[in-house]
Amino acid sequence: MKGLSLLALIDCNSFYCNCERIFRPELKDKPVVVLSNNDGCAVSRTPEAKALGIGMGAPYFQIKSLCDKHEVHIFSSNFSLYTDISRRVMNILKSFSPFVEVYSVDEAFIDLSGIDNPLAYAQKIKEEIARRAKIPVAIGIAPTKVLAKVACRIAKKDPQHKGVFGFQEARDFDPYLSQIKVSNLWGVAKGRSLSLKLHGIHHAKDFRDFSNHHLIQKILTKVGRQIQDELRGISCFPLTLEHEKKKEMMSSRTFGRGVFEKRALQESIASHASSVAAQLRLQNSLCYEVLVYVRTNPYKEGIIQYAASHVLRFQRPQNNTFALIKLALKALEKIWTPGLEYKKSGVRVRQLQDEHEYQLSLFEQENSHSEVSKEAKQYKEEMLMKVMDHINHREGKRTLFSLACGTDHHTWKMRRDFNSPRYTTSWYELPSCNSKSLRKESKYSKKYGRPYKT
């Protein structure tokens, strides 16, 4: 059986609630609920709370009396705590497998290929997480992600499996797939499952064996076909191991109460824009596109409903806080309508680009034209400043670093004048990074310090 690809989904049970229980052990076996921002609705519930009929996303004002009656313990969310606990859980997983894909704050896939007894191994993982992070988890084992999700669901629902369930072969899932409702499959939510039901597809097995590809494509897009394949044991969603950069970012919030004034809206947009800019810088990304949106309260009757968004683009990509705020406020002007009661606002950035890639593209652009654009020059300086930040400790010493640019190798020589309170970098490009010039430079570096490489 070795060589067969196998993966496991580790899913923390009622994650936010169990994070809170770490510090309140007396709440074990008691109903606990964690509320969303503004204490709006329930986002995490323990099985005891679910048994009382508290649904996912249930508005707090609707369940409040129920909670009071059954002494449900209510918490406002504490995301920094949950992130911290999550990191601990993921670190434990990394000690079991080098191939860990962190899927969300409370879920991860790991590769179990080649493990002799996967079920026993998973049981060990479960115990270790319970012991070291104090978080109960369920583990599903299968050849594909969609089946691992199914397995994990069974592990959670059926106590006889003690939180770990799965098979090495897709066909072993057959008896279970006819029990699982299609709406419980990963990637099939209410809307799509309703359409599937119209065609007599009620359970996961019906779905897997449905052969009208055209119809599946129409109802569930390309993803539907992939889910079908995954149910058959053909992997379409492989593990993504490296930490990939985000492709979009957003910051949004509902207001505690309705907002009428333009000023308040502007303030919220500026704050979202600045938060997004900080996120961009954190992963060294720039963005071309800024989307601003506002909306009224769709649940409130008797008011004029309004939802609008507007997109503006930068000429060159940015992650500068002030540039983002400026553009976002400009976009807000386009959709601002007076006399309405606003309830939510947000800023979303799209078309991200890696900062360094962009800078390198400017270098290339510059090198291919005799005329240096002002923009390219400015970026070159900014980048050099950054490098200077890194080598700041080499005060007064000449330092060399080399930069890989496309297929060519450009070498930049830099110098900081230690007599000046400011950076006064002098730099120039060597014609090419051939071995002769490198040798010369290495002699030079020996005298003044090691080369700095990026």
Partner DNA sequence: TCTGGGGTCCTAGGACCC
246 contacts DNA (rule: CB under 7 A): yes
136 contacts DNA (rule: CB under 7 A): no
- The CA distance from 135 to 17, in Å, is 10
274 contacts DNA (rule: CB under 7 A): no
78 contacts DNA (rule: CB under 7 A): no
When the beta carbons of 221 and 378 are compared against DNA, the nearer one is: 221
50 contacts DNA (rule: CB under 7 A): no
408 contacts DNA (rule: CB under 7 A): no
37 contacts DNA (rule: CB under 7 A): yes
212 contacts DNA (rule: CB under 7 A): no
Sole window of 45-53, 154-162, 190-198, 403-411 interacting with DNA (rule: CB under 7 A): 190-198
Sole window of 47-55, 186-194, 321-329, 421-429 interacting with DNA (rule: CB under 7 A): 186-194
Q: How far is the CB of 114 from DNA (least distance, A)?
A: 27
190 contacts DNA (rule: CB under 7 A): yes
- The CA distance from 376 to 66, in Å, is 63
Q: Is 449:397 a contact under the CB 8 Å cutoff? A: yes
247 contacts DNA (rule: CB under 7 A): yes
Nearest to 247 by CA among 293, 291, 280, 223: 280
Q: How far is the CB of 280 from DNA (least distance, A)?
A: 10
Q: How far is the CB of 172 from DNA (least distance, A)?
A: 22
SS3 content of the chain, % helix, strand, coil (to 5): 45, 25, 30
Sole window of 39-47, 316-324, 401-409, 426-434 interacting with DNA (rule: CB under 7 A): 39-47
Sole window of 40-48, 201-209, 323-331, 440-448 interacting with DNA (rule: CB under 7 A): 40-48
Residues in contact with DNA, shown as a per-residue x/- string from 87 to 126 under the rule CB under 7 A: ----------------xxxxx-------------------
Q: How far is the CB of 418 from DNA (least distance, A)?
A: 41
Rounded to 5 degrees, φ, ψ at 290 are: -125, 125
DSSP track, 373-402: PHHHHHHHHHHHHHHHHHTTTSTTSEEEEE
Selected binder of DNA within 179, 221, 378, 454 (CB under 7 A): 221
As beta bridge partners, residue 11 has 107, 138
Pairing status of strand 398-405 against strand 452-453? parallel
DSSP track, 236-303: SS----S-PPPS-EEEEEEEEEEE--HHHHHHHHHHHHHHHHHHHHHTTEEEEEEEEEEEE-TT-TTS
Q: How far is the CB of 436 from DNA (least distance, A)?
A: 42
DSSP track, 55-86: -TT-BHHHHHHHHHHTT-EEEE--HHHHHHHH
Which residues in the 299-358 window bind DNA by CB under 7 A? Answer: 299-300, 309, 311, 313, 343-344, 346, 351
252 contacts DNA (rule: CB under 7 A): yes
40 contacts DNA (rule: CB under 7 A): yes
Q: How far is the CB of 120 from DNA (least distance, A)?
A: 26
Q: How far is the CB of 329 from DNA (least distance, A)?
A: 18
* Phi-psi sector, 275: left (phi>0), alpha (psi -120 to 50), beta: alpha
Rounded to an integer, what is the distance from CA 125 to the centroid of its chain? 24
Q: How many residues bind DNA (CB under 7 A)?
A: 54
38 contacts DNA (rule: CB under 7 A): yes
185 contacts DNA (rule: CB under 7 A): yes
Calculate the alpha carbon distances from 454 to 2, 146, 390, 391, 404 in Å.
Answer: 41, 41, 10, 11, 8
- The CA distance from 286 to 148, in Å, is 36
- Our CA angle for 336, 337, 339, nearest 5°, is 135
Calculate the alpha carbon distances from 40 to 5, 84, 170, 256 in Å.
Answer: 43, 23, 41, 9
When the beta carbons of 252 and 321 are compared against DNA, the nearer one is: 252
223 contacts DNA (rule: CB under 7 A): yes
For residue 411, how many other CB atoms are within 10 A of its CB?
19
| Residues counted in the chain | 454
36 contacts DNA (rule: CB under 7 A): yes
Sole window of 137-145, 157-165, 219-227, 405-413 interacting with DNA (rule: CB under 7 A): 219-227
- The CA distance from 232 to 295, in Å, is 43
Selected binder of DNA within 278, 291, 384, 438 (CB under 7 A): 291
Tell me which residues touch DNA (CB under 7 A).
36-38, 40-41, 43, 56-57, 59-61, 103-107, 149, 185-193, 217, 221-223, 246-254, 257-258, 279, 289, 291, 297, 299-300, 309, 311, 313, 343-344, 346, 351
